[in-house]
Amino acid sequence: MRSPDASSSIHGDPASLHIARPRSLAGQCHRPFDPGAADCRTCAKDATDAPALPTVPNRHFPLTAEPVCLPGLRMGRTIRLQNIDTMMIDSTRYPRLSRIQTPDDLRTFDEADLTAIAEELRAYLIESVGKSGGHFAAGLGVIELTVALHYLYQTPVDQLVWDVGHQTYPHKILTGRRDQIHTVKQKDGVAPFPKREESIYDTFGVGHSSTSISAALGMAIAAQRSGDERKVVAVIGDGAMTAGMVYEALNHAGGMDPEPNLLVILNDNRMSISEAVGGLTKMLGRASGSRTLNAIREGGKKILGDKKNNPTARFVRRWEEHWKGMFVPSTLFEEMGFHYTGPIDGHDLPGLVGALKTLKTLKGPQLLHVITTKGKGYELAEGDQIGYHAVGPFDPSKGLVAKTGAKKPTYTDVFSDWVCDMAAAEPRLLVITPAMREGSGLVRFSKEYPQRYFDVAIAEQHAVTLAAGMATQGAKPVVAIYSTFLQRGYDQLVHDVAVQKLDVLFAIDRGGVVGPDGATHAGNLDLSFLRCVPHMVVMAPADEAECRQMLTTGVRYEGPAAVRYPRGTGPGVALDASLTTLPIGKAQLRHSGTRIALLGFGASVDAAEAVGRELGLTVVNMRFVKPLDKAMLLELASSHEGFVTIEDNVVAGGAGSGVAELLNAEAVTLPMLHLGLPDSFQHHASREDLLAEAGIDQAGIRAAVLKRWPQLMAGKAPSRNAAAG
């Protein structure tokens, strides 16, 4: 065991952690900040230097009882998760890890202990994810890197920014969430991604790719302007390096004066969720295998000596830079203003510690290139990095076991079969995905039609405009994309596709409530942001057969179209291989009733129909969010006393808003009740739990209708003069 550095270590109960806001890391205090005092009681810093008091409490991870004084943070946050199950760690199996609640505890160990700690951390991660499920292989690949970073950097004063967040379970275990990690993705449990409301060690909330360098640069600039000497580190994978935002940040950081103190760690494992693709991945691969270059460089140093005093050495160095520029990535980063180090073995803890110690002493933007193996230390995950990217609960001694027996197809499965059937019938069909071959159901298509399949890597903006370019030449491109990721290509959807009314079909998976992955992956906004775009046709299927019909309709439509379907399975209706279309803008009457009409969109239709049949109400499967079935809506408005719109989307600007706008334009006054998702970002929980919370499951719809029109229960007709809502 080693003694912590008194000048920079952080002590005390994490729930009341206090660090003053000094201009250097020396002289920190560890007592709660007193908001009533003019100065901090211990460090005597001006109270204006302390963070503002939190004003918005978090629902699931309550803020600390006392405000936390921490450099650069505007909100006190606790790492103590309340009201959830804990799993007591076995101190016999994990003698070192059981003594680590926070990085402060980690730093009390000798450097020689780190390899053993990493081994325990890897074993504990395998055990805990085996019980809970969750993101798995990515975390196994950064065990050594996580240990080294928290050991050498004074987190949370020094700030770590993780890209995407799939790899952060080891980080969470070392930062106060060890005994709760088995609750990951569960309602009220540990979040699957870094979340600022959850821990002071989660410096930036993520879930989408390629944001880390921009965020870390912003932190570094803010620290520099205030005179703080804290370190800022961004950890980003090679898959995330395919997004253009990364190079915007690198270009900015490398050209700044004064230079920001920023370390970017490139975690190079040749993977994103699917296998990483593209020219950059190939270039990085050449770097890790360039033994010839390393041998030439080292031999030349011995023969030629210092290049500053030897013209021949200077010439050779220029030749080397030219050669490197063609074959390895260091020149790319160095030309952007970063000092490049690597590549080094990301599983060699002593080597990592040595490299990081050196980099901590350097000023300006630095880039450390580490080579890791996704799934490291669990043989099955190393052999199937895609299959073990995210897993359900499993027995680590046996690995993942394929489920047997018949099961309903998911909407992703429906799309997977349809796109192959459609490709056989339509030779102009091309398919684009931004690095989501498996998730979007394109494995079969990529094998059967490899020349018509385009994985553009994590590049949503490029994917959409690529499709637009294809469409100008008569192709029928399909962009298979998650709802949450389409947000990143919205400008291209508007500017490059819709303005030109190009024939592009967006097959939007994970629309509406997604569930366990939390707010960053929710598809709650898409109907709103698609409905307002001119020329768009927007469809939402109520079942699997309708999903096929809508996809075919979208391909046949001359203009931009979107089919938005949810995660998981549908009602389980019978499917065939036909490629029939639907009439554009025509709804389907599901049940003819009286008094109130329930207008269901997409996945909400089944629950609406159950309520409608029970209460004797009319039920309509609207099918089209845009254009709406104007004729049917006006006919129903003339014969009913009220409308209820139901959608798996935020109410604001959604499908229900479209119905209200249509009636208003026709000067029709009718009481309306809009049911949908709240004007807030939903937390992580199961899809069923979140639908129930929003009141758009069967029980919630029934309760809302009867609350608005209680006469229905008594068999009385509701008043047409009821207030509109």
The reply to whether 126 and 262 lie within a common domain is yes
User: Does the annotation flag 151 for ligand binding?
Assistant: no
At residue 604's C-alpha, the angle toward residues 414 and 207, to 5°, is 70
User: Does the annotation flag 606 for ligand binding?
Assistant: no
In terms of phi and psi (left: phi > 0; alpha: psi -120 to 50; beta: otherwise), the region of 594 is beta
pLDDT of residue 407: 81
The reply to whether 91 and 192 lie within a common domain is yes
Residue 439 lies in a domain: yes
Q: What is the mean pLDDT of residues 617-645?
A: 98
Share of the chain above pLDDT 70, in %: 78
Tell me the pLDDT tens digit for each residue of 269-299: 876 445 555 555 555 545 443 444 445 444 5
The number of residues making up the chain comes to 725
Please say which residue of 532, 564, 596 terminates a domain: 564
Rounded distance between C-alpha atoms, residue 225 and residue 204, angstroms: 19
Residue 300 lies in a domain: no
Active-site choice (21, 96, 178, 374): 374
Residue 306 lies in a domain: no
Active-site choice (460, 609, 641, 647): 460
The reply to whether 372 and 421 lie within a common domain is no
User: Does the annotation flag 252 for ligand binding?
Assistant: no
Taking alpha carbons only, the member of 595, 504, 603 closest to residue 554 is: 504
Active-site choice (77, 96, 488, 702): 488
User: Does the annotation flag 299 for ligand binding?
Assistant: no
127: containing domain? 14-290+328-379
pLDDT of residue 583: 98
Residue with tokens 């080579």: 371
Rounded distance between C-alpha atoms, residue 417 and residue 412, angstroms: 9
Catalytic site includes residue 447: no
Catalytic site includes residue 460: yes
The reply to whether 558 and 617 lie within a common domain is no
The reply to whether 226 and 352 lie within a common domain is yes
User: Does the annotation flag 411 for ligand binding?
Assistant: no
The reply to whether 415 and 372 lie within a common domain is no
Rounded distance between C-alpha atoms, residue 536 and residue 539, angstroms: 10
Residue 722 lies in a domain: no
Tell me the pLDDT tens digit for each residue of 398-448: 998 777 666 889 999 999 999 999 999 999 999 999 999 999 999 999 999
The reply to whether 368 and 440 lie within a common domain is no
Taking alpha carbons only, the member of 437, 451, 461, 431 closest to residue 555 is: 431
pLDDT of residue 276: 55
Is residue 356 scored above 50 in pLDDT?
A: yes
Q: What is the mean pLDDT of residues 547-560?
A: 98
Residue 276 lies in a domain: yes
pLDDT of residue 518: 78
Is there a cis peptide before residue 103, judged by omega within 30 degrees of 0?
Answer: no
Please say which residue of 531, 564, 597 terminates a domain: 564
In terms of phi and psi (left: phi > 0; alpha: psi -120 to 50; beta: otherwise), the region of 235 is beta
**Of the candidate ranges 249-253, 316-320, 564-568, 608-612, the one whose mean pLDDT is the lowest:** 316-320
User: Does the annotation flag 269 for ligand binding?
Assistant: yes
Confidence band, pLDDT 50/70/90 cuts, at residue 79:
very low
Residue 71 lies in a domain: yes
Phi/psi of residue 386, each to 5°? -75, -45
Average pLDDT, the chain: 83
Catalytic site includes residue 376: no
**Of the candidate ranges 209-213, 705-709, 718-722, the one whose mean pLDDT is the lowest:** 718-722
Q: Is 533 exposed, middle or buried (0-12, 13-18, 19+ CB in 10 A)?
A: middle
The pairing of beta strand 366-371 with beta strand 262-268? parallel
The reply to whether 362 and 421 lie within a common domain is no
Whole-Å CA distances, 632 to 158, 199, 663: 61, 51, 12
Overall domain count for the chain = 3
User: Does the annotation flag 239 for ligand binding?
Assistant: yes
- For 209, the token pair is 């790719």
User: Does the annotation flag 521 for ligand binding?
Assistant: no
Strands (E), 571-709: 588-591, 596-600, 618-621, 624-626, 642-650, 672-677
The reply to whether 369 and 483 lie within a common domain is no
The secondary structure element, H or E, covering residue 475 is none
Rounded distance between C-alpha atoms, residue 30 and residue 703, angstroms: 51
Rounded distance between C-alpha atoms, residue 124 and residue 276, angstroms: 28
Instruction: Say which residue, 85 or 216, is predicted with more confidence.
Output: 216
The reply to whether 559 and 597 lie within a common domain is no
The reply to whether 526 and 647 lie within a common domain is no
The reply to whether 74 and 217 lie within a common domain is yes
Tell me the pLDDT tens digit for each residue of 197-235: 999 999 999 888 899 999 999 999 999 999 998 999 999
Q: What is the mean pLDDT of residues 672-697?
A: 92
Whole-Å CA distances, 48 to 35, 76, 301: 10, 15, 54
- For 78, the token pair is 């606790």
3-state secondary structure at position 694: helix
**Of the candidate ranges 225-229, 311-315, 510-514, 702-706, the one whose mean pLDDT is the lowest:** 311-315
Type of residue numbered 163: D
Is residue 162 scored above 80 in pLDDT?
A: yes
Residue 315 lies in a domain: no
Is residue 357 scored above 90 in pLDDT?
A: yes
Residue 681 lies in a domain: yes
- CATH assignment of the domain containing 452: 3.40.50.970
Confidence band, pLDDT 50/70/90 cuts, at residue 185:
confident
| pTM, entire model | 0.79
CB–CB of 526/603 below 8 Å?
no
